[in-house]
Structure 1
Amino acid sequence: MNIRDVAAAAGVSVATVSRVLSPKPGSQTVRPETRQRVLEVVDRVGYRPNDLARALLQDRTATVGLVLPDISNPYYPPLVRGVEDAASTLGYRVMLCNTDRDEEKTATYVDTLIKTRVDGIIIAGGSTTMPMLRDVFEPYRTKVVVVGRHELEYPSIQVDNVAAMGEVIGYLTGLGHRRIGFIAGPASSITVQDRVEGYRAALRAAGIGYNEDLVREGDLQEQSGYDVAGELAAQPTRPTALVAANDRMAVGAMAALTDAGLRVPADVSLVGFDDVSLASYIRPALTTVSVPTYDMGGAAMELLAREFEEGGGTPEPGARVLSTTLMVRESCAAPPR
C-alpha cells in the first residue's frame, strides 16, 4: 500500500493524508473526523510512510544523532534520558552511537549520521581527539551541539569542572586534610584535564604543594580505581584523603581501601565525582559532586532545536554553564591523628 492507496480508501486527497501523517503543526489543520478516517485506514492496511522519501522532499528527518563515548558508564544514561525526553516533546527521534572513545569509530559514526540526513548531532564526552571531526562536518550544514568542554567551535552545555574540584579540595582542607591523593582519568579527556587543573589550583590556594606521587591516572572504570587506590594506600606515608575523577573509580577505590584493612572515612576520606545513582547506596554513602546530567541532555536537545528554527550556517560558539552541587555524605571525616 502506498499513500495514493490510502487516500483512495479514505476518500481524501494525497495531500490530506500527508498532512495527517506529518509531524509538523500543519497536520492539525485537518478536520478531526477526516483525520480519524485517515488514521483508521492507515491502521487497517498497515501503511508505513516512507521516511526517506519524506526527508528528501522536506529536507528534514525529525531525527538527531547522539554520540557517546561509553554507554556502560552510569554517568551517561541520565543524559541520554534528558535528550530523549526533550526530543520526544519537540517531535524528534534519537539515534544513539557508542564510540568507546575510539577516534576512527567516532568519525565513522558521525559520517554515517550525516549520510542518513539527521537534522543535527549532539556529541557528549570531551576529548582532545574531537577536532578531527571538523573535517567531517565541514562540507555539510548539519547542526551540532556538544555536551562538556570541547575543542570544537559549536554551542555547548557545560559545568565548571575547575570550580567544582576546587570546592571538593576546599571541603577536604577545611576538615584538616593536607595530604590529598587524586585518581585522575585519561589525559586525552578535556573534562579530566579541567578536574586536574581544579585540583592543583585548589591546593595552591590552600598553601599545599603539588605532589606528583599522590596523583595517578586511571581509565574511569572501577578496576583502575581499585588498582590506583591500592598503590596509594601502600605508600609509607599514605594520603589521608582520596579524590577520584568519577564515581566509578571512587567505588573501586573504596573496595581497595577496605581490602587493605583501612576504614572509610576513619582512616582515609574518599570523594567521587558525578553523583551516579550508586553513590548514595554504597556504605558509607559516597561524598561526591552532583553533575546535572539529565538537565544537560535536555538543554542540549533544546539548544539544537533552537538552531533548527533559526536556520542559517554554522552557529556561533558559546557555552551554557549549569551548576554542580557538592553532596556531602558519609565518606569523609577529619584526618586521623
Structure 2
Amino acid sequence: MATLKDVAKLACVDVSTVSRALNNTSYVHPETKKKIYAAVERLSYKPNLIAKSLRQGKRNAIGVVVPGINFSIFSEIVQGIELEARKLGYSIMICNTNDNPDSEEECLNRFRNGLVDGIIIASTGQNMRLLRDISASGIAVVQMVRKQDKEFSSVVADYDACGYEGVKYLYAKGCRHIGFINGPMDIIPYKERYRGYHRAMKECGCEEMVTESTQHLGDYFQDGYAGVAKLLEKDPELDAIIVAADLQGLGVIRALKERKIKIPDEIKVMSLTGHSIGSMMETTMTSMEMPAKEMGVRLTGMIVEHIDADADHQPNRQHVVFDASLVERETT
C-alpha cells in the first residue's frame, strides 16, 4: 500500500509539501500540486483517515445504539439520522443490542475506544454509569425513544398520550372490552403506554385486560399471537385489541384469522407504535404513527450541536417530546 513518502518521492517533493497540498493547509504552487495529484493517482494512494481524525481530534462519526431495526420504529428513526448526518458531514455506525445489557455494554465500549464523536442511544437503562463516564470523557450522548437519565438530552414520543388516545378512539367506535398486549413494563415507553391505557380505561368505566412480554429478547410476533388466546380467556366478549408495537399486531391478526374472527367487525385491532409496514399489510393496521424520520433528524441536529460546541460552552440539555398522530386503516 502506497504511503505519503512514496507520493513525495514520485513527485520529487518533500513529505510536508504533499501533506500541505492534500490537506490545503497552506499555499502550494499549482504546478507542484499537479505533480502531487498525478503521483497520488498513479500510486492509488489512500490517506490514513483514522490517523488523520485522531490528529485532528474529530472523527465525524456518530454511533447509534438500538435494540434492533427489523420491523420496528427504530429502522425509520435510523434512516432519519443517517440522511441528516450525511448532510452535516457525518457518517454513522449502528450497533444492535437486542435489548441485552451485556451486548449494549460491549457496543458502548467499542464506540468509546473507537472512532465516534457522539452516541445516540435507545438504552436498556442498565449501563447508565458507563454512559456518564463516556460523556465525561468528551463523547456526546443523546437518548432516543427512551429517556433513562435526565442528565442527557433526549428525543421521545408521548407514549402516555398514545395509550390514552388509543382507548378513547376505540371507545368512540363502540368498543367496551378493550385488551392490551404490551411490552416489558420495565422499559419506559411500555410503562408509559400502559399508564395512558390505564387512565383512559378508568375514565371510560371499562375493565382492564393486559398481557405483556416478560423478556427483553421476546418474540414480539409470538407475544401478539399468544396474547389473543390469553385475552379471550379473560374475556370472551373481547371486541378490541391494542398492541404496543406493529410486530405484535401482525401476530394478533394472524391469530384472529386462524380463529375465523372477523377484523374489524368482531374485534378491532390497533397499534400504539405505527411503522410503515402497517400500511402495506393485507389488512392494513390502524396505528398511532410517530414522526420517526423527523425524530431522527432532530436527534442528529442535537448530537452534532453537542459535538461542535466548545467543552466549556456545551448547549443546554433538551428533552424533546413528539406527538403521535392517529392513522385509521382497515383493522378498525
TM range (shorter): 0.7 to 0.9
Distance 1:292 1:56 in 2: 36
Q: Which residue of 2 aligns with 1:6?
A: 7
Task: State which of 162, 174, 177 in structure 2 corresponds to 1:176.
Answer: 174
Distance 1:317 1:123 in 2: 15
Contact persistence 1:130–1:151 (CA under 8 A): no
Q: Which residue of 2 aligns with 1:46?
A: 44
SS at the partner of 1:274?
Answer: strand
**TM-aligned CA distance change 1:39 to 1:308, over 3 Å:** farther
1:134-181 deviation line (CA, Å, top 9, x unaligned): 454265111011111322221111111111222111111111212110
C-alpha RMSD of the superposition: 2.6
Letter in 2 for 1:255: R
Residue 117 of structure 2 is aligned to residue 98 of structure 1 = no
How far the C-alpha of 1:108 sits from its partner, in A, is 1.4
How far the C-alpha of 1:237 sits from its partner, in A, is 2.8
Residue 161 of structure 2 is aligned to residue 157 of structure 1 = no
Distance 2:253 2:28 in 1: 61
Q: Which residue of 2 aligns with 1:297?
A: 296
Letter in 2 for 1:329: R
Contact persistence 1:158–1:321 (CA under 8 A): yes
Bigger CA drift: 158-167 or 9-18? 9-18
Distance 2:320 2:98 in 1: 26
**TM-aligned CA distance change 1:331 to 1:17, over 3 Å:** same
Distance 1:30 1:288 in 2: 60
SS at the partner of 2:92?
Answer: strand
5 Å matches for 1:184-263? 184-209=182-207, 211=208, 214-218=209-213, 219=218, 221-263=220-262
5 Å matches for 1:80-91? 80-91=78-89
How far the C-alpha of 1:235 sits from its partner, in A, is 4.0
**TM-aligned CA distance change 1:50 to 1:169, over 3 Å:** same
**TM-aligned CA distance change 1:19 to 1:150, over 3 Å:** same
**TM-aligned CA distance change 1:238 to 1:77, over 3 Å:** same
SS at the partner of 2:255?
Answer: helix
SS at the partner of 1:300?
Answer: helix
Distance 1:67 1:305 in 2: 16
Task: State which of 113, 117, 133 in structure 1 corresponds to 2:130.
Answer: 133
Task: State which of 51, 57, 61 in structure 2 corresponds to 1:59.
Answer: 57
**TM-aligned CA distance change 1:234 to 1:204, over 3 Å:** closer
Letter in 1 for 2:252: A
Distance 1:240 1:36 in 2: 75
1:89-112 deviation line (CA, Å, top 9, x unaligned): 111111111111111111111011
How far the C-alpha of 1:275 sits from its partner, in A, is 2.2
5 Å matches for 1:16-31? 16-19=20-23
Contact persistence 1:3–1:17 (CA under 8 A): no
Q: Which residue of 1 aligns with 2:114?
A: 116
TM-score by structure 2 length? 0.87
Contact persistence 1:230–1:257 (CA under 8 A): no
Distance 2:269 2:91 in 1: 40
**TM-aligned CA distance change 1:134 to 1:114, over 3 Å:** closer
Contact persistence 1:154–1:317 (CA under 8 A): yes
Contact persistence 1:226–1:253 (CA under 8 A): yes
1:264-310 deviation line (CA, Å, top 9, x unaligned): 11110000133222211223210011112222122111111111221
TM-score by structure 1 length? 0.86
Letter in 1 for 2:23: R
**TM-aligned CA distance change 1:260 to 1:114, over 3 Å:** same
Q: Which residue of 2 aligns with 1:142?
A: 139
How far the C-alpha of 1:226 sits from its partner, in A, is 0.2
The percent of aligned pairs where both chains have the same amino acid is 28
SS at the partner of 2:40?
Answer: helix
**TM-aligned CA distance change 1:191 to 1:169, over 3 Å:** same
**TM-aligned CA distance change 1:115 to 1:330, over 3 Å:** same
Letter in 2 for 1:16: R
Bigger CA drift: 73-82 or 112-121? 73-82
1:226-274 deviation line (CA, Å, top 9, x unaligned): 0111221344533210000000001100111111121111110000133
SS at the partner of 2:263?
Answer: coil
